Structure 1
Amino acid sequence: MNEIGGENEPLLVNGGKSSDCLNNSQRGTELATKQRKSRVRNFLVLGVIVVIFKGSEQMTEVTLKQFIYAWCKENPDVATGNDSVNVNSSDCTATKTASQRQASTWELYLNLVRSILIYFSVSFAGTLSDYVGRKPFLYLSVAGYALRSGILSIVIYFNLNIAWLYLANVLDGLCGSIYTITLLTYTCAADMTDRSHERVFGLVVMETFSGLGLMSTQYGNGYLIQNLGFFYPMITSLGGILISLILSYLFLFETNDQNRIIEEVKKNITFSKSLTKLPAFKTLLKNYTSFYVRDRTSHERQIFWVCIITFLLTEFCIQSRSDPLTLYQLGAPFCWGPTLLGLYNMTYIGTTMIVACFILKAVQRCVSDPVIACFGLLSALANMMVTALVTSNTLSFIAIGVGFASVLPKPILRGIASSRASSRLQGAVFAGLESSELVCAVVSGPISLSIYSATLDTFKGLIFIILAAVYALAFLFMVYLTYLLKKFSFKKNEPVEDHVTVKT
């Protein structure tokens, strides 16, 4: 029998019920199609916002690093105390070694202050966004970063002491900075995608949007710095950040509310009070830690723990690579200027964040996501080894090609954690991941810059050898995680059980 509504449902077309059932089915299909189109539109809007913001963020960070270095070089007595440096010397090694050492010290303490404050902001914003939505915290964090860029512009324009940068970093840290923006970006992407392959690919696409933004300003920013100084790039980045804030206010839909409405309507439950009451701090803390404690089964806890450890090791290498590499390329034997630095960064981002997205989509058809992450870690390891041993500009660019898949492990690990978490706790699970990034920022900065500073006169590439060893350790954990996921696999459409209450 071809049943429509059930065993006792009349099949009379003119009787009304079968017709109503067909109409309801058609309306349901149309509603699902409309919702999917709305999600695709919202996803693209979010991608445009990410491109604009990331391009502006990159201008800010690259300009700031080079400004700190230039300030230390032009103020040797202030920067180095008793050291006296001849800033007019043509010897790259003589003029830049002391400035590199002092610039690394400034960056270390500035990043430390900012990271400690961001940790609490990220944890709070992620867990609370599961209740009040993503957009309020997105507004706050983007506005805070705009305030930071504004203060940096003032410091550069009036050539103030760079100690004023502490004020900019404190205000930005209290608002959540780029880590909260990243947290909310990936949480919104997870809200708008299904679990498993689709979510992982959605997160990688968002990573690609981020790469497009970072790449868009790299080369041009180098020319701006070289020809116009530091002020115009910084004020330009401030304008881009404000544009992204306006776009998010006008065109971005609230992804959390949209999903909550769909879920509650299906259950025929009124949820009008769910957004009017704020949860207790104990509830937020429980949601934040639930993935790693006894609220879950032993194998689920094991998967989350191995996932977060692998993520920490990978993020430690990413955080530790950035600052020493810039100083490494500014000093002898390379002595790169802003233009060549911009070209290198643009090539690196384009290769790892954009090309990798297409590679993932093609490889996903025949290889599981964890296996792809293993390959990505090996690619990153090779990149560090080649970078440590380069002796020419050509080899530096070859190292980029070796590490073409190095960006894939992070979004895949995010996708694995997100897919195993409840849809009502996406903000909490991403808050834990972003908080781990903050831990890496606090730990990796002092370690990597201290090692680089201590080995300037012996083997400057030692820090990259050490990072390659850390990548090797992350690879071993990723292999074990792949085994656990295969052992305790669940069906794609199987609902994830909520082990933690989200009552207010």
Structure 2
Amino acid sequence: MKTISGTENSKRPLKTVINGDDSISGYGTISGGAPAELTSWRRYLIGPLLSVYMFGYMMSYYTITEYTNKTWHDIKFKEANISVNSSSLSVCVANKSSPEFKVESEATSMAAQYMVYYSLSQGIPAVVSNLILGSYTDALGRKFLLGVGISGTTLRLIFSVIIIYFKFDMLYFIGACFIEGCTGQYATFLQVCLAYAGDITKPGKQRTNGMAYIMFMLGSSLTLASFAAGYLIQNYNFYVPLAAAVVLLTIAFFMMLVLLPESFPPEKRKTGKSLREVVGHSFSFFISKDYGSNRWKYQFLLLAHGFCEFSFLGRIGTETIYQMSTPFCWSAEKVGLYGAARTVGMMVFGVWSVKFFQLFLPDVSIAMIGVLSYAGCFTITALANNSAMLYLAAAVSSFGPLESIVIRSVASSLSEPSKQGAIFAAFASVEIIVNLLSNVGTSAIYSVSVKFMRGFVFLVLSSFDGIAFVLLIILLIRWKREERKITMVKI
């Protein structure tokens, strides 16, 4: 008896993915007839390649955020004819009754507004380009999209170096961000790395471990990026970390071109499809009746992931400005050390705890732990009045990566091998939209609320995690109820 239908072209049904290999048959992707290069050590280079790329990307993100913050402080204090310590990268005033405090608040507000401009110029074109390029990876292969992602970010970095070195107006960053947005932004690169992991693993626990490997390599790069950016800015200049990032991305491009094997060979690709058909595959998971009872699972997974990512993605720029302002007054180096310490915690307790939780918890429940971890972190951050509380918040966030790892793994395991690119293109497109809305929203909220409660924006972010948690509870209850019905029918 057919219990759960897959697509109309499926030769066998898709089953549920709650407890890893114990409850999934799904679609396998690697067989005994796989090309020799895909069974060699070179396939694991996808992890180091992601690390090098994200190291350069995030180092540039921290640098431009801190450069914008520093530049606006210099402008506002000069306009107010107030002298400041020019050797400091962070102008911080603790006395709320002083004129310096008012100027510092205005400068922080303007820096937050400029982060909105950068996000809009990058995010709007990325929404369209990411969906199109991400969908075409199932027709053109994975390496094509990896090359596009690296090239776009490298161009933005080159223009950013020129802008900072020659001290051009900061509005020129908008053009640089727009160029990168047209190539899909960071999400394009991340989604194709996840699709690559989906190509070389089997559904279930192996797929989850593959996603964990990708997230571990991602986290490793973030650890080093925040520390390196802080050190280079503090001891050299703002354009130095950007120039270093350009060199690293050039190395990454040639690593991808020469050493990394293609995980999706021509014989597996769906060619001859129109743009409408290719892009339509990414949305079909959530709207097509062909996916039967799996359609609502895709919907809940995507919604929960979107709300959680809203809180996580939007915090970085605002959090950096928050830490460099009253009452913390952190330098660029301290910001970098904090980011490194937090990411190490996420790698040790978040990524590597997946296998432990899989021993006794359903996949959806593991994702819920990650959501609660982020919610607790943002609540503590909002109420923090000293550095110790910020580090406590970082510790609480350690299990956050569980959400992203598990939800992506479940969605990937529900999908056919020929649609791995399409499913990750759908998730990446939502992440791009969420990243845009979150960066604009958090920067705008912080700009307005900084004068009455600096941490208010983090309470807002925590509420989005609360929504994601509720969605996952509904998903878990409904999914288990469906499984019980299927078991009864079989009996």
Same fold (TM > 0.5):
yes
Partner of 1:436: 430
Post-superposition offset of 1:354: 4.0
Name the structure 2 match of 1:24: none
The answer to whether structure 1 residue 342 and structure 2 residue 350 are counterparts is no
Residue aligning to 1:49 = 49
Counterpart for residue 107 of structure 2 = 99
Structure-1 separation of matches of 2:200 and 2:308 = 26
Partners of 2:216 and 2:325 in 1: how far apart?
31
Query: Are 1:419 and 2:413 an aligned pair?
Result: yes
2:320 partner SS? helix
Change (3 A) 1:223 1:311: same
Change (3 A) 1:353 1:85: farther
In structure 1, the residue matched to 2:286 is 292
Whether 2:118 is the aligned partner of 1:122: answer no
SS of residue paired to 2:359 = coil
**In structure 2, what is the Cα distance between the partners aligned to 1:355 and 1:36?**
35
Report the CA distance shift for 1:128/1:414 in structure 2 as closer, same or farther (over 3 A): same
Q: Which residue of 2 aligns with 1:403?
A: 397
Secondary structure of the 2:265 match is helix
Q: 1:87 to 1:100 in 2, by over 3 A?
A: farther
Correspondence 1:88 to 2:84: yes
Instruction: Provide Cα deviations, 1:393-445, integer angstroms capped at 9, x if missing partner.
Output: 11111111112101210121111111111111111111110111111122212
Could you tell me which residue of structure 1 aligns to residue 18 of structure 2? none
Moved more, 206-215 or 351-360: 351-360
Tell me if structure 2 keeps the 8 A contact 1:299–1:488: no
Does the Cα contact within 8 Å between 1:134 and 1:255 map onto a contact in 2?
A: yes
Q: Is 1:170 equivalent to 2:166 in the alignment?
A: no
Structure having greater relative contact order (Cα 8 Å, sep ≥ 6) = 2
* Aligned-residue offset at 1:347: 0.8
Find the counterpart in structure 1 of residue 21 from structure 2.
none
Q: Which residue of 1 aligns with 2:72?
A: 72
Conserved in 2, the CA contact under 8 Å of 1:142 and 1:177? no
**1:448 matches 2:442:** yes
What is the number of equivalent residue pairs in this alignment? 442
Q: Tell me whether 1:468 sits opposite 2:469 in the alignment.
A: no
The answer to whether the 8 Å contact 1:73/1:87 transfers is no
TM-score (norm 2): 0.85
Sort the Cα spacing of 1:32 and 1:85 in 2 relative to 1 into closer, same or farther, 3 A.
farther
The answer to which of 208-217 and 35-44 deviates more is 35-44
Deviation at 1:365, TM superposition (A): 2.0
Give the drift of 1:91: 5.6
1:163-192 alpha-carbon deviations (Å, 9 max, x no partner): 111221111111122111011111111111
C-alpha displacement of 1:350: 1.0
| Alpha-carbon offset, residue 42 of structure 1 | 3.5
Which has the larger Rg? 1
Answer whether contact 2:157 2:245 (CA < 8 A) is retained.
yes
- The code of the aligned residue for 1:53 comes to Y
- Structure 1 unaligned runs (5+)? 1-30, 262-273, 491-504
Q: For the Cα contact (< 8 Å) 1:112–1:441, is it kept in 2?
A: no
Q: What is the RMSD computed on CA atoms of the aligned residues?
A: 2.2
Aligned-partner SS, 1:471: helix
- Map of 2:58 onto structure 1: 58
Residue 9 of structure 2: aligned partner: none
CA deviation map 1:133-162 (0-9, x unaligned): 011121011011001000001111111111
8 Å CA contact 2:446, 2:456 repeated in 1: yes
Q: Which runs of 5+ in 2 are unaligned?
A: 1-30, 86-90, 95-100, 485-491
Q: CA deviation at 1:131?
A: 1.1
The residue aligned with 1:133 is 141
Deviation per CA, 1:306-330, whole angstroms, max 9, x where unpaired? Answer: 1111011011111222222111101
How far is the alpha carbon of 1:65 from its aligned partner? 0.6
TM-score w.r.t. length of structure 1: 0.83
Against the structure 1 CA distance between its residues 72 and 196, is the aligned structure 2 distance closer, same or farther, given a 3 Å change threshold? Answer: same
Q: CA deviation at 1:99?
A: 1.6
Matched to 1:363, the amino acid is F
Residue 238 of structure 1 and its aligned partner are, at CA, apart by 0.9
Whether the 8 Å CA contact 1:130–1:425 is kept in 2: the answer is yes
Q: How far apart are the structure 2 equivalents of 1:42 and 1:310?
A: 34
Measure, in 2, the Cα distance between the counterparts of 1:159 and 1:471. Answer: 40
Secondary structure of the 1:398 match is helix
> 1:176 & 1:283 partners in 2: Cα distance?
20
CA positional deviation for 1:35: 5.7
Structure 1 residues 361 and 35 mapped into 2: Cα distance closer, same or farther (>3 Å)? farther
Asked whether the equivalents of residues 330 and 336 of structure 1 are also in contact (C-alpha less than 8 Å), the reply is yes
Q: CA deviation at 1:355?
A: 3.1
